[in-house]
Every structure is written in C-alpha cells, then in structure tokens.
Structure 1
Amino acid sequence: MRNYFLLLFLVFIGSSIQAQDAVMHASETATFKEKVITSAKATQTIKSDFVQYKHLDFLSEDVKTSGKMVVKAPNLVKWEYTNPYQYSVIFKEDKLLINDGGTKSKVDIGNSELFKKLNQLIVNSVKGNMFNDADFTVSFYKSSKYNKAVFVPKDPKIAKYIASFELLFNKDDAQVYEVKMVEPSQDFTRIIFTNRILNSTINDSVFNN
C-alpha cells in the first residue's frame, strides 16, 4: 500500500502569497464568502479531472500524476489516479477503501477524529465551503484572475501534517479550480481541476472498492 501521505495530499498550499495578490477589504470578503457558500450549498455532486503536482525539495522536478475525482454530498469522496499508475482512495462510512493496482484494502477510520476531520476537509475544500471551520485562521486575497482563501490550522493534530491550505476560486462561478497544501517541511501538493461537472446523477456504486 502506498504511503499514507497520499491520504493527506487532499484536500487538497503555496509557500508564499504572490506579489500580485491583494488583501480583500472586509466588504469584498463578505460578498465573496456569501457567493462561495451559496454555490457550495447548491452543489450536491462533483465530477472532475485533476492533475496533481507533488513538490519535494530533493527532486529537481515535481512528481506529476493525474486522474478523476468524484464527490457526493454529504461525505462520499473518491480519488482515482489513472496516470502513471492505477490507484484509488474512497472515503465512505468511516472507512477508507484503497485499491492499489488491484490490491484492495480497507482501513477503519471511525475511531480516528483526525481522519474524520481530514475527510470533511476534503469535501469542504473541493466545494470551497470551509469558512465557518473554527479549526482554521482564514485570510482572503484577490487578483485579476482569481480569488484566494488561505487556511492555517489551529488544531495541533492537523498542523502536524498540514501547514496551510490555499484555495483558488474562479471569479465568475465561485468554484474551486485549484487546491494547494503545504506541509510543515514546506514541501507541497498542488491539484488543478478541469472538466468539472456539477450536480449530475452519481450512483452510490461508484464508491465501492
């Protein structure tokens, strides 16, 4: 089974705020949050392709993988890597279902508050609805191309794995199109979503291992 770090890549942040990003004013922040929350509440299912870049300081190039993501409210999530290897992770009913190139395994996360929290972060980060999470300090930025929310965990258990999240939102529909996560080591994982389809019918069988 692959390294458990693959569970933490999700949710899917940048090591610094780019120069072209400006801090949102309070009124801008309120308007932005309202738009994102409205969009998230209206989103029951998500299908999307993704490309993931894993940056490690000791490598000269980022490790690139790609695949498909499926989310169904309230808490079903599937990440399926299709290139360069076959690997899927499903969060379902306090279980973590793993299929590593045909080798299947199941991990009970029902007694782990940390993994429960990570699962909820996965859903909320992809939908963009993390603003009311008391476990994070949130800062808001804007540029000509996107709006950005940066989340720094307050919970030491989460901070042990995740230094910060960064969500980039389309300005027009307030949908998340990029999730980035930085580890305490400053290595980071960046996920870019494309071909997103909202509120299509998704059978629960999709979330079977």
Structure 2
Amino acid sequence: MKIRFFLILVLIVNTVFAQEKKMSAAEIDVFKATVEKETKNIKSLKTDFIQYKHLDFLSRDIETSGKMYFKQPNWLNWQYTKPYQYSIVFKNNKVYINDQGNKSTVDANSKMFEKINKLIIGSVSGNMFDDKEFSIAYFKNKDSYIAKLTPKTATIKKYIQQVDLYFPMSDATVSQVKLIEPSGDFTRIVFKNKQINAKVDDSVFTN
C-alpha cells in the first residue's frame, strides 16, 4: 500500500513539474523583445480582475473582484467592488486610499508601495526586465510564458518571496500575477476583459 501511494505521489509530482519548462536563452530573447515591442505603445489599460487570497489556515481562498486602470506616465488605480468598496490609487509618488468613504494618503517614496507600483506598471509597459531589485527566471507551459521574479534586497524580501507574472502566448500583456509571501501564503490576481488604449479619464485617478 505504501509503495503504491509513493508511486502515485511521484507520478503527480512529475506531472506538475512537467507542466512548466525553463525557456532557452533564444526563447527568452524573443519573449522579451516581443513584450517590449508590443507594450511600448500602451498609453492606457483597463481590465476586470479577480483576486484570490490563499491562507494556509483557510479551506477556501478569499475571493474579491474589481477593476484596474492604468494610464501613462505611471498612474494606477486598483478598484475593488466586490464584496466591498475599496480603492488604491498610485499617482505622482502618492498612494490615495479610499476605504468605503474613509480616505487617506500615503507618501510612496522609498516605501514598499513604490516597489509594488513599479512592478505592476513595469509588467504593463514592458519595462520590468532590467529591474535591479529582482532576479528573473523564465519558464513556459502549454498556455503561457512565465517570468518569476525573486527579490534581491532585504527590504522587499520581508514582504515578498517571489512574484510570478503570466503572459499568454497570444498576448504580450500580463494575464495573471501571483505574489508569494515568505510564509507561503499568496495572492493570485487574474485579469479579464482587458482593453488597451481605451479612453480612461483623469478623474478615475481622483480618489
């Protein structure tokens, strides 16, 4: 019985790891060039998202949803609409938070907010591959190219163990982000109904 269980376990592990393969140097060069080419003309982006928060002590992930808006040069709005109203706007080195009508402002300079903002904007604009604060490994599965970013600095390592960015093979913009914490808990964000260079009013970034 134990031998049978062990063989099944090995089969499962091999199947899971077989789903992802390291990209070759040539594949990485093509992938990076494609992303940089396709994203350099993105002036704005709006998309729906579903966020799954995985905590080991819970049997089910916590699910929230909303919309994300991006506009050049570096404005970003995460707008949660279900199951609660909450928004975070990154604009001009400030973070504007609106928690169901309770508003506050945080200076983003040299803080963790700035790193997260830079990472998300970089993944949208294609300017993330030269980030000095992360080492990047590249993988692929049958559906996506995957950039796995590991922080180099102690400041970021306190909050993030790894960030996985998924790029569908048919699209040069990120379709999924997975932020893994040092504890092993993680947040997975899936983007849907993306609209590139659609009209996004400045008022969207007034929290």
Q: Which residue in the other structure is 2:198 paired with?
A: 200
- TM-score with structure 1 setting the length: 0.87
Higher relative contact order (CA closer than 8 Å, sequence separation 6+): 1
Say which is worse superposed, 91-100 or 114-123, in terms of deviation. Answer: 114-123
Identify unmatched segments of 5+ residues in structure 1: 1-16
The question of whether the paired residues in 2 share the 8 Å contact of 1:47 and 1:68 is answered with: yes
1:69/1:24 CA distance change after superposition, 3 Å: same
Q: Which residue in the other structure is 1:7 paired with?
A: none
What is the total number of aligned residue pairs between the two structures?
192
The question of whether the paired residues in 2 share the 8 Å contact of 1:136 and 1:152 is answered with: yes
Q: 1:51: Cα distance to partner?
A: 0.1
Identify unmatched segments of 5+ residues in structure 2: 1-15
Q: Which residue in the other structure is 1:27 paired with?
A: 26
The question of whether the paired residues in 2 share the 8 Å contact of 1:128 and 1:176 is answered with: no
- Structure 1: which amino acid aligns with 2:187? T
The correspondence of residues 54-93 of structure 1 with structure 2, limited to 5 A, is 54-93=53-92
Map Cα deviations across residues 158-204 of structure 1 (whole Å, 9 max, x no partner). Answer: 11101011011111222210000100001000000000000112221
Moved over 3 A (4+): 126-129
1:74/1:46 CA distance change after superposition, 3 Å: same
The correspondence of residues 24-173 of structure 1 with structure 2, limited to 5 A, is 24-110=23-109, 112-173=110-171
Which of the pair has more CA radius of gyration?
Answer: 2
- Structure 2: which amino acid aligns with 1:171? M
- Structure 1: which amino acid aligns with 2:153? D
The question of whether the paired residues in 2 share the 8 Å contact of 1:45 and 1:72 is answered with: yes
Say which is worse superposed, 50-59 or 168-177, in terms of deviation. Answer: 168-177
Map Cα deviations across residues 54-83 of structure 1 (whole Å, 9 max, x no partner). Answer: 000111100000000000112100000000
Say which is worse superposed, 53-62 or 96-105, in terms of deviation. Answer: 96-105
Give the helix-richer structure, 1 or 2: 2
Q: 1:126: Cα distance to partner?
A: 3.9
The question of whether the paired residues in 2 share the 8 Å contact of 1:165 and 1:179 is answered with: yes
